[in-house]
Amino acid sequence: MTLLPAPLRIAEFRLYWIARFAAVLATMGMVVIIGYQVYDLARAAPSAGGYGMSIRAASFQLGLLGLSQFVPLALLTPVAGWVADRYERRTVARLANGIDMSIALALGWLTATDALSLPILFVFAALHGVARVFVGPAMSTIAPNIVPPKILPEAIAMSSIAWQVGSVIGPAIGGFLYASDPALPYWVSAGLMLVAIIAISPIRPIKPPTITGNAHPLRQMLDGLTYVRLHRFLLGAITLDLFAVLLGGATAMLPVYARDILKVGTEGLGLLRAAPAVGAALLALYYAWVPLKRNVGVKMLLAVGGFGAMTIAFGLSRNMALSLGALALLGMFDMLSVYVRSSLVQLHTPDAMRGRVSAVSGLAISASNELGEMQSGLAAGLLGPTLAVVSGGAAAIVVAMGWAIFFPELRNARTFDPPVAPDPLKGETA
């Protein structure tokens, strides 16, 4: 037990980590399969039950899919953050995971009975977005309440690792399972969500933090956005990830590359999805025992630039081995960026605001992922998939350079320790 990182020596944190990892593994696996089914159904001939669309038209459907998942996230994020700060966080997480489990079971049944259509997939993608918007803030704010303050940075880092590794391994596993049986990824996702619900249940009830003041609940919901806007450090960290992944994400195009460019099919899609997972997992294992402590801001900015460079390399590659190598390095850079950003956001936020600020951060992540898919789909529809991926990678590099200039607070962050600073929401001044 003493060989484990400090947070994992705490029983409640181990249960929390298992729950978070299982939930992320399940939801991210569902996302990639929904995307592949949309693209495959759009491309398939009408005689095979498809829509017979061209590559560009089918790629555009992936963009619409991203939009269908993002709209409920955008509308409900203030509500989800307020709920995480107002009600018992374990209960919120269990209910949201239960809803998502029901969605996975429904999609599994529809897939097994060949009853899928594009409208059905879009509807369930939107419902999946609703469940995810409540899971995120509730789960991410539990960790700071179950570990001693002295190891909070390591706990937040371990929580970030669970999210990041699950987010890249989940799609990889989903791709392999889909090649075996199209309905199997959904059955496995439902099982993993049940694991998450069971794992989080023994954790002691977490009393909601006290929300000071008599502001109307709608005002309290919007306080998360206000808090981030008035704290330049948080604003810079959150928007860095938002714009870099929004413009530079290549994952939405993986079904296109697997089916029509590299021509490696669903088995190849599983390998392409697994490559970032391998890179992220290796770096995560390293940081589990050797936590990052110095020059964290500069390393985050460099990681975003590396993410963009590897996106370009993948977009130009027509060799499977080279593509896998580029994606593995992309996963490493993405892991480093998320690890630093998530830790900084949690540690620079008071507990009474963590739910609402985590919701804003989650909205940025979802915007970068879902709207990134929409942007990639639209760009691929206009420019073709290769130019869309390459231009997106170049844009991510530009974002990293721009944020290094316009947000010196990020560049100057030496450690994860938050500075003692005035609170603009309370009218304090330096």
pLDDT of residue 210: 58
pLDDT of residue 217: 53
pLDDT of residue 251: 72
The domain 6-426 having CATH identifier 1.20.120.640: the answer here is no
Q: Which two tokens stand for residue 160?
A: 């970030």
CA atoms within 13 A on the CB side of 28: 26
pLDDT of residue 402: 93
Contact 296, 340 (CB under 8 A): yes
The Cα–Cα gap between 272 and 73 comes to 27
pLDDT of residue 323: 93
Query: What DSSP character marks residue 259?
Result: I
Give alpha helix (H) positions in 144-295.
Answer: 152-180, 184-200, 217-230, 232-248, 254-256, 265-289
> Residue 360: in which H helix or E strand, if any?
helix 351-366
Query: What DSSP character marks residue 149?
Result: G
Break the chain into its structural domains and give their ranges. Answer: 6-426
pLDDT of residue 378: 73
- Please calculate the CA angle 59-171-13 and round it to the nearest 5 degrees: 140
The Cα–Cα gap between 423 and 260 comes to 53
Specify the pTM: 0.69
Give long-range contacts, CB 8 A cutoff, 24+ apart: 98-103: 98/193, 98/197, 99/127, 99/130, 99/131, 100/23, 100/26, 100/27, 100/128, 100/131, 100/132, 100/135, 100/193, 101/189, 101/190, 101/193, 101/194, 101/197, 103/30, 103/127, 103/128, 103/131
- Please calculate the CA angle 157-161-166 and round it to the nearest 5 degrees: 155
Could you tell me which of 150, 140, 211 has the C-alpha nearest to residue 10? Answer: 150
Could you tell me which of 339, 341, 333 has the C-alpha nearest to residue 357? Answer: 341
pLDDT of residue 136: 78
The Cα–Cα gap between 63 and 83 comes to 30
Per-position DSSP letters for 22-86, written without gaps between them? HHHHHHHHHHHHHHHHHHHHHHS-GGGTS----HHHHHHHHHHHHHHHHHHHHHHHHHHHHHHHH
* Side chain identity, residue 199: A
- Mean pLDDT for each consecutive 10-residue tract of the chain (430 residues)? 76 92 90 87 81 81 79 78 80 92 96 91 91 82 79 73 76 83 95 95 77 55 71 83 73 81 80 81 77 84 93 92 93 85 75 70 66 70 84 90 90 72 47
Could you tell me which of 385, 378, 153, 384 has the C-alpha nearest to residue 254? Answer: 385
- The torsion of the CA quartet 185, 187, 189, 193, rounded to 10 degrees, works out to 180
Q: For residue 236, what are the contacts with CB-CB under 8 A and spacing of at least 6?
A: 403, 406, 407, 409, 410
Query: What DSSP character marks residue 7?
Result: G
pLDDT of residue 424: 47
